[in-house]
C-alpha cells in the first residue's frame, strides 16, 4: 500500500481528521514535502483571502505560485513540479484588509534563524543505528537527569558547539558522569536566545544555530549508543507574538485564543486556542513527530500548569478574571492535556511525560482513565522551594527553617515526583548552588553543597541537576556565555565534580537508592525533629525491602563525636558515601568504612551504630549482612 503522505494531493480523510482534532501525524501532509517530482506545499489559513508560495525559486513573487483552497477545510495547497531540496520559501498570506504578509511555515523542519527566519526545504533523513534505551518500568528504575542548555554548555572559537561537536564533547561527558538521561533545553527553533528556548517559532524545527535536523538526529543516536535517554524541553502552552511565527497567522485569531482576557500569558505571549480542533492536531502531532522522527525518549513540559490554569501579567488582571469567571480554570486546556497524554501513551507507552506544574492541582500523575492529567512525573517544585528556603537562609537561621527539609515528606505519596535543582534556581539573583548559603567560608560552601546533593538523592524522588552545578559553578548561569570550565583546575571544583559522579554511580547501581521511590513505606524517618542541632536521618528501602540505605546528615557546624545512630536491624553496615572524604574535597577525618550494630537502643530502634559526625557532614550507609 503506498504511503498516502507521498500522494500528490492530501487525502480528504486526513484533512477531515485534522479538522476534527484527531490527526496525530498531520506533519506528514501540511508544510513542504518533496514528492520526488516536485514539492507539495500546504498550509492551514482559513481566514486568508489568498495564499501563495514564495521563495528563492520565484524571486519571492506573490503572483507566481498561487495556492488553491481545499474546500471548506481551511487548507491551501500547491504542487510545484521540478523543485527539490535546498530551496528557501515562505507563505504569502493576503488578509481580509488586502495586505500581504510573509509567514513562516508552521511545519517547517529547518529555519534559517539569522536570515529573517526563513524556512529551507532540506533533506532530513537519517537512519538510526541504535535503539532507544529499553526499560518499560518507569517508576522503579533509576532516573537521573542532566539538564543542559546546549547553546551555552561549551563554546569553540567563540560560538556554541554544533550538534556534531556535541557528539564528541557532551555525550561522553554525560556518560562519564553516570547520568541516565539528558534533558536538552532550547532545541525547538526560537528567535531569542535569552528566552532559553521557551518562545518557539519553529515547533517542528531543531534550532539551526547548531546544525541541521539530520545532525541533531545523529546526536540523539549517539546518546542512545551509550544507553542515555534524551528528554526534550518543550512548551506547548504558548507562543510569542513574533510576526513571522504563528501570531495572527492569517490575519485573525488562528492558533491563539480568541477571547481577549484569555489570550495573553504572564510572559506577554499568546495562549494556544486549545478549544480549536486544528490546533489540537497541530500540537499532538508535534509530539509524535519528535518521538517517531527523532527517537526522543521523553518530554519535560514547561509551564504545564497553564494547560489547566490561567495566569496573568498583573495581579489586577488576575483579580478581574476571578471576579468575572469565579476561578482561573482552563477547561479546554485541561481536556487537551488529557487527550495529548492519552494519545502518546496509547501508542508510545515507553515515552516519559514530565510536567513542570507549579499549581496545587491533584492527579497530575494519575492516569487519564482515572480522571488524572496523565503525566508520568511531576516536578516537585514545592520540595525544591523548601530546600532553597533552607539553604538560602543565613546559617544562623537554619534552626528556624528546619521544617522546610521535612515538610515535603507529608505529601510525597500523592504523586510520582521528580526533584529538580534546575536552571531556574541559578538565575535572577538566586545564587548558584554552591553559593546558596552566603555566610560560610569557601571550604564550608563546598561541604554544604555536598550535603545538599546527598539530601536530594535521599528523597524518594527522581533526580535532576542543571549543568555547571555538578562542579560548583560560582557565578549565575548566563545563557549567552559558556560554563566556566577553567574552574576545574581548582581542586574544590574538580573534587565536587568527582563527588557528583560518585553519587550518580551509587544512585544508579544500588537498588535501594531508587526502587522504593513510589512504594508504600519505601522511606522511613529515623530523626526529623532535631531542629536545634540540625540533624536529619532516614532510611530508604528497595522494592522488596531486602536492602536498605541509611542517611545521616549534619547541617550544623557542630561536631558530634560518638554519635549513636539507630537502625532497624542487627548486622553490618558499609559506608558508601562520606561527604568529608578527601577524594571529595573534605578533610577525611572519618575514614572508617564498616560498622557493626550494638544492642543499644537509639532513635526508637533497638540497635545502633556509633560514628563521628563532623560539621556540615553527611554519611550514607548500606546494609551488608543483616540479621532479621
Give the residue numbers marked as catalytic: 302, 356
Cα–Cα distance for residue pair 581/599, rounded to 1 Å: 28
- For residue 372, what is the DSSP state? S
Contact of 351 with 344, CB cutoff 8 Å: yes
Cα–Cα distance for residue pair 356/368, rounded to 1 Å: 17
- Name 42's bridge partners: 31, 77
User: Could you tell me how far CA 164 lies from the centroid of its own chain?
Assistant: 22
Q: Which residues contact 203 (CB under 8 A, 6 or more apart)?
A: 106, 188, 236, 282, 283, 286
SS3 call for 191: coil
The C-alpha cell 557493626 sits at: 596
Cα–Cα distance for residue pair 374/235, rounded to 1 Å: 17
Output the CA–CA distances (angstroms, integers) from residue 190 to 14, 262, 283, 460, 591, in the order listed.
Answer: 29, 23, 16, 35, 51
Helix (H) or strand (E) holding 166: helix 163-176
Contact of 421 with 147, CB cutoff 8 Å: no
Question: How many other CB atoms sit within 10 Å of the CB of residue 70?
Answer: 16
Backbone dihedral region for residue 263 (phi beyond 0: left; psi -120 to 50: alpha; all else: beta): alpha
- For residue 131, what is the DSSP state? P
- Cell representation of residue 568: 532497624
SS3 call for 383: helix
Cα–Cα distance for residue pair 67/42, rounded to 1 Å: 8
SS3 call for 267: coil
What secondary structure does DSSP assign to 305-334, as a single string? GGGTB---SSHHHHHHHHHHHSS-B-HHHH
Task: Show the DSSP H helices in 327-380 as ranges.
Answer: 331-347
The C-alpha cell 536529619 sits at: 536
- Name 462's bridge partners: 418
Contact of 312 with 330, CB cutoff 8 Å: no
SS3 call for 247: coil
Map 388-446 to HEC letters.
Answer: HHHHHCCHHHHHHHCHHHHHHHHCHHHCCEEEEECHHHHCCCCCCHHHCCCCCCHHHHH
Positive or negative, the Cα torsion across 484, 488, 489, 493?
A: positive
Backbone dihedral region for residue 489 (phi beyond 0: left; psi -120 to 50: alpha; all else: beta): alpha
Cα–Cα distance for residue pair 542/519, rounded to 1 Å: 9
Contact of 621 with 560, CB cutoff 8 Å: no
> Across the chain, which distance is largest between two alpha carbons, in Å?
91
Buried-state track 81-103, b at ≥16 Cβ within 10 A, e below 16: eebeeebbbbbbbbbeeeebbbb
Amino acid at each position: 500500500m503506498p504511503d498516502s503522505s507521498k500522494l500528490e494531493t492530501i487525502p480528504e480523510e486526513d484533512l477531515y481528521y485534522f479538522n476534527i482534532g484527531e490527526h496525530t501525524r498531520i506533519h506528514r501532509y501540511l508544510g513542504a514535502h518533496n514528492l520526488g517530482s516536485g514539492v507539495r506545499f500546504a498550509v492551514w489559513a482559513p481566514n486568508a483571502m489568498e495564499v501563495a508560495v514564495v521563495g528563492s525559486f520565484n524571486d519571492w513573487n506573490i503572483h507566481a505560485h498561487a495556492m488553491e483552497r481545499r474546500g471548506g477545510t481551511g487548507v491551501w495547497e500547491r504542487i510545484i513540479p521540478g523543485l527539490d531540496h535546498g530551496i528557501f520559501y515562505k507563505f504569502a498570506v493576503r488578509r481580509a484588509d488586502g495586505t500581504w504578509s510573509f509567514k513562516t511555515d508552521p511545519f517547517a523542519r529547518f529555519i534559517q534563524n539569522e536570515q529573517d527566519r526563513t524556512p529551507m526545504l532540506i533533506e532530513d533523513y537519517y537512519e538510526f543505528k541504535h535503539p532507544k534505551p529499553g526499560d518499560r518500568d518507569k517508576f522503579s528504575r533509576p532516573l537521573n537527569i542532566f539538564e543542559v542548555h546546549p547553546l551555552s554548555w561549551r563554546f569553540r572559537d567563540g560560538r556554541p558547539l554544533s550538534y556534531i561537536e556535541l557528539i564528541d564533547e557532551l555525550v561522553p561527558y554525560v556518560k562519564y558522569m553516570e547520568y541516565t538521561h539528558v534533558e536538552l533545553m532550547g532545541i525547538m527553533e526560537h528567535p531569542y536566545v535569552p528566552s532559553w528556548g521557551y518562545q518557539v517559532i519553529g515547533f517542528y524545527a531543531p534550532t539551526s544555530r547548531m546544525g541541521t535536523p539530520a545532525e541533531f538526529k545523529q546526536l540523539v543516536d549517539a546518546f542512545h549508543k551509550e544507553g542515555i535517554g534524551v528528554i526534550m524541553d518543550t512548551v506547548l502552552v504558548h507562543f510569542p507574538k513574533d510576526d513571522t511565527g504563528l501570531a495572527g497567522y492569517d490575519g485573525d485569531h488562528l492558533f491563539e485564543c480568541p477571547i481577549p482576557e484569555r489570550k495573553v500569558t504572564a510572559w506577554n505571549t499568546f495562549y494556544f486556542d486549545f478549544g480549536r480542533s486544528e490546533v489540537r492536531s497541530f500540537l499532538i502531532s508535534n509530539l509524535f513527530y519528535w518521538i517517531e522522527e527523532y527517537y526522543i525518549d521523553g518530554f519535560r513540559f514547561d509551564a504545564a500548569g497553564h494547560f489547566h490554569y490561567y495566569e496573568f501579567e498583573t495581579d489586577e488582571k488576575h483579580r478581574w478574571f476571578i471576579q468575572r469567571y469565579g476561578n482561573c480554570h482552563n477547561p479546554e486546556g485541561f481536556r487537551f492535556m488529557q487527550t495529548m497524554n492519552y494519545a502518546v501513551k496509547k501508542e508510545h507507552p515507553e515515552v516519559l511525560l514530565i510536567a513542570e506544574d507549579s499549581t496545587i492541582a491533584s492527579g497530575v500523575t494519575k492516569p487519564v482513565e482515572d480522571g488524572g492529567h496523565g503525566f508520568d512525573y511531576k516536578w516537585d517544585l514545592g520540595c525544591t522551594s523548601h530546600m532553597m528556603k533552607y539553604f538560602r537562609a543565613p546559617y544562623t537561621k537554619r534552626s528556624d527553617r528546619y521544617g522546610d527539609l521535612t515538610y515535603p515528606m507529608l505529601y510525597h505519596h500523592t504523586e510520582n515526583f521528580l526533584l529538580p535543582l534546575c536552571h531556574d534556581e541559578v538565575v535572577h539573583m538566586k545564587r548558584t548552588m554552591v553559593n546558596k548559603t552566603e555566610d560560610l567560608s569557601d571550604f564550608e560552601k563546598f561541604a554544604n553543597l555536598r550535603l545538599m546533593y546527598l539530601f536530594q538523592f535521599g528523597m524518594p524522588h527522581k533526580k535532576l541537576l542543571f549543568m555547571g552545578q555538578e562542579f560548583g559553578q560560582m557565578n549565575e548561569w548566563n545563557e549567552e556565555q559558556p560554563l566556566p570550565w577553567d574552574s576545574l583546575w581548582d581542586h574544590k571544583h574538580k573534587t565536587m565534580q568527582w563527588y557528583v559522579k560518585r553519587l550518580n554511580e551509587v544512585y544508579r547501581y544500588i537498588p535501594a537508592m531508587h526502587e522504593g521511590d513510589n512504594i508504600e513505606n519505601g522511606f522511613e524517618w529515623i530523626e526529623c525533629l532535631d531542629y536545634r542541632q540540625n540533624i536529619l536521618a532516614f532510611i530508604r528501602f528497595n522494592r522488596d525491602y531486602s536492602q536498605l540505605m541509611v542517611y545521616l546528615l549534619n547541617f550544623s557546624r557542630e561536631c558530634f563525636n560518638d554519635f549513636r545512630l539507630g537502625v532497624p536491624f542487627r548486622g553490618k553496615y558499609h559506608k558508601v558515601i562520606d561527604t568529608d572524604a578527601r577524594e571529595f574535597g573534605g578533610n577525611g577525618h572519618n575514614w572508617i568504612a564498616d560498622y557493626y550494630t550494638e544492642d543499644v537502643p537509639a532513635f526508637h530502634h533497638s540497635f545502633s551504630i556509633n560514628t563521628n559526625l563532623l560539621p556540615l557532614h553527611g554519611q550514607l550507609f548500606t546494609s551488608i549482612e543483616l540479621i532479621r
